[in-house]
Amino acid sequence: MREGVLALRIGTALAVLIVGNAVGSFAVMAQSGRSDPLLNAGPPVWDANHDGVFTCDEWKKFMEQLFASADKGRKGFLNPAEFEAIKKADPSLAQADFGYFDENHDGKISRKEFVEKPSVFILRFDKNGDCRVTPDELKAATTPQPTGGPQERPRDRFH
């Protein structure tokens, strides 16, 4: 298990170093003075092609890899201890709650429950609903919005 966690941490660190496109957008956000917990950690590491656009497909592939690395014995589910290892291996999931993923409350998280769970990051920043968060959408998220006008309702769907 330690080797898998170490490999995951190394891969995560390399991905963060490679994501050059998105770093500029996040620097602008940091300078804007706006505090958003989803942005404070820097760009997500699951931008597989490192183009600065974060997609639902990339999220699902990332979650699939995390699940496979943690599912010891290839039994098809994660127990609470395996889930804790994932939380330690990936900073974006450090505050994740076991119950959030365990939808049927059977005390274990199936592959489907884990991989199909929507990305909070995409739900928060994908304003046009195309299952892609672009640098422009991230920039718009840090631009102060006028008050008093109609507020956009958050979407409850995930592609």
Q: What is the mean pLDDT of the chain?
A: 75
pLDDT at 102: 96
What digits encode the pLDDT tens for the residues 19-68? 333 333 443 344 444 455 566 656 678 888 999 999 999 999 999 999 99
Beta strands in the chain (DSSP E): 54-55, 77-78, 109-110, 132-133
**CA 105 – CA 127 distance, rounded (Å):** 31
Q: What is the 8-class DSSP label of residue 92? A: G
